[in-house]
Amino acid sequence: MTENQPTICILGGGFGGLYTALRLSQLPWEELKPQIYLVDRNDHFLFSPLLYELVTGELQSWEIAPPYSELLANTGVRFIQSAVNQIDIAQQQVALPDQTISYDRLVLALGGETPLHQVPGSAEYALPFRTVQDAYRLEDRLRALEVSSNPKIRVAVVGAGPSGVELACKLADRLGDRSRIRLIERNTQILKSAPEFNQTTAQKALEKRQVWIDLETSIESLEANQMTLSYKNKTDMLPVDLVLWTVGTAIAPPIQALPLPHNELGQLLTEPTLQVQDAPHIFALGDLADCRDQKGDPNPKTAQVAIQQADCVGWNIWASLTQRPLLPFHYTHLGEMLTLGEDSAALSGLGLQLDGPFAFMARRLIYLYRMPTLDHQLKIGLNWMLKPLLSALNPNQ
């Protein structure tokens, strides 16, 4: 490292953090090439929109959760597997458990966690579904239930946003006739912010799978084998074997502790350039950032937004270090996709509306294109092409 070499520290290796690191590694730095650190508590990236395919065994974890060592090879980005203890914005330092990193530019992309203390018993008896580890825990629970003597496997999915709907459909396909799945939603409809076509298609997919939809309903409490629901000021206690929690996002404590402007949800307020207000050397994106469009409306907290933000943040960090003008972030909505069980999906956007197997194939191809590196795209693409052939040659596997 040269004396004048700037240091960029990126906290969080999700879509926002990893794609920012990759973008920075591709820019023309010349003699100012910085030292780039990417810090994440996990050793792997997660392509989260495909996490649901682990439930049904359609995909394997290596396909959607490649290690950072593989993705960052030959990029010059140094990966550090670690938690974040504290961020000192006055000293421009990040404290990790075993070292301290001084930075010239800081990227905050730690994402969020599923809050599990919203109702009594949720922390003890509900499972989140946000990480590969969550998928493994769900797999263990499902296997135990599948070999049990229970004639029905009673599952409650809390939240009828995209995560809840996708998870309910996958579980229904996996469990088949043994499933008794409830989708519980406080609002008056499922997929409240989704395009009407996706709402309608998802409603039909849930009805086909005999998923019970409880609208205007909230969970009052959870116990080991039962839940208490509230509907229009009436309560009802129902038996349940498994509860999955898909609602809410909690901001990481090191972000909450920063003496910077936050909104009522704890998200950091940002400028149009994605710089944090009152801290121009810090950039924020993804779940922890209050990023708004020209009308003042918040941008969605989705993977496609984070990928576009990462491109902007990478460019603006480069611009700020090379004395060039920074650019405001403008989100381009490219449509929305849902997986609705095995070999089925819904797609709405850019003038297209698809459902069923065609939407399933389109979704797979679009996500293949959005994978972080060409090497991983080729590895997955080859596996997807060969899988039907291998299945035909080995029908008993």
Q: Does 256 lie in the same domain as 371? A: no
**pLDDT on residue 390:** 64
Assign 386 a pLDDT band (cuts: 50, 70, 90). Answer: confident
What's the pLDDT tens digit per position in 184-218?
999 999 999 899 999 999 999 999 999 999 999 99
Q: Does 109 lie in the same domain as 19? A: yes
Last residue of a domain, one of 295, 321, 347: 321
Q: Does 238 lie in the same domain as 128? A: yes
Assign 233 a pLDDT band (cuts: 50, 70, 90). Answer: confident
**Least-confidence region, from 135-144, 292-301, 318-327, 338-347:** 292-301
CB 380 within 8 A of CB 63: yes
Does the structure show a pLDDT above 50 at 1?
no
**pLDDT on residue 397:** 55
- Cα 379 vs. chain centroid, distance in angstroms? 22
What's the pLDDT tens digit per position in 66-77?
999 999 999 999
Does the structure show a pLDDT above 90 at 396?
no
For the chain, the 3-state helix, strand and coil shares in percent, each to the nearest 5, are 35, 25, 40
What's the pLDDT tens digit per position in 9-26?
999 999 999 999 999 999
Whole-angstrom Cα Rg for the chain: 22
Q: What proportion of the chain, given as a percentage, has pLDDT over 70?
A: 97
Mean confidence (pLDDT) of the chain: 94
Q: How many CA atoms lie within 13 A of 66 on its CB side?
A: 19
Last residue of a domain, one of 269, 290, 321: 321
Q: How far is CA 4 from CA 1, 34, 214, 321, in A?
A: 8, 9, 60, 11
**pLDDT on residue 112:** 86
Distance CA 123, CA 169 (A): 24
Assign 393 a pLDDT band (cuts: 50, 70, 90). Answer: low
Does the structure show a pLDDT above 60 at 32?
yes
Whether 329 is in a domain gets the answer no
CA angle 193, 197, 201 (to 5 degrees): 105
Domain enclosing residue 259, as ranges:
7-41+82-113+249-321
Number of other residues whose CB lies within 10 A of the CB of residue 177: 8
**pLDDT on residue 3:** 56
Whether 51 is in a domain gets the answer no
**pLDDT on residue 98:** 95
**Least-confidence region, from 43-57, 255-269, 375-389:** 375-389
Helix 356-370 / helix 303-321 crossing angle, nearest 10 deg: 20
pTM of the model: 0.93
Q: Does 135 lie in the same domain as 283? A: no
Whether 262 is in a domain gets the answer yes
What's the pLDDT tens digit per position in 237-296?
999 999 999 998 899 999 999 999 999 999 999 999 999 999 999 999 999 999 998 888
What tokens does 244 get?
Answer: 């999955």
Whether 327 is in a domain gets the answer no
Does the structure show a pLDDT above 70 at 371?
yes
Q: What proportion of the chain, given as a percentage, has pLDDT over 90?
A: 87
Number of domains present in the structure of the chain: 3
- Higher-pLDDT residue of 387 and 343 is 343
Q: Does 361 lie in the same domain as 294? A: no
Q: Does 274 lie in the same domain as 232? A: no
Q: Which CATH number belongs to the domain containing residue 199 in this structure? A: 3.50.50.60
Assign 171 a pLDDT band (cuts: 50, 70, 90). Answer: very high
Last residue of a domain, one of 291, 321, 351: 321
Q: Does 361 lie in the same domain as 263? A: no
Q: Does 101 lie in the same domain as 174? A: no
What's the pLDDT tens digit per position in 63-112?
999 999 999 999 999 999 999 999 999 999 999 999 999 999 999 999 88
Q: Does 90 lie in the same domain as 185? A: no
Q: Does 255 lie in the same domain as 108? A: yes
Whether 340 is in a domain gets the answer yes
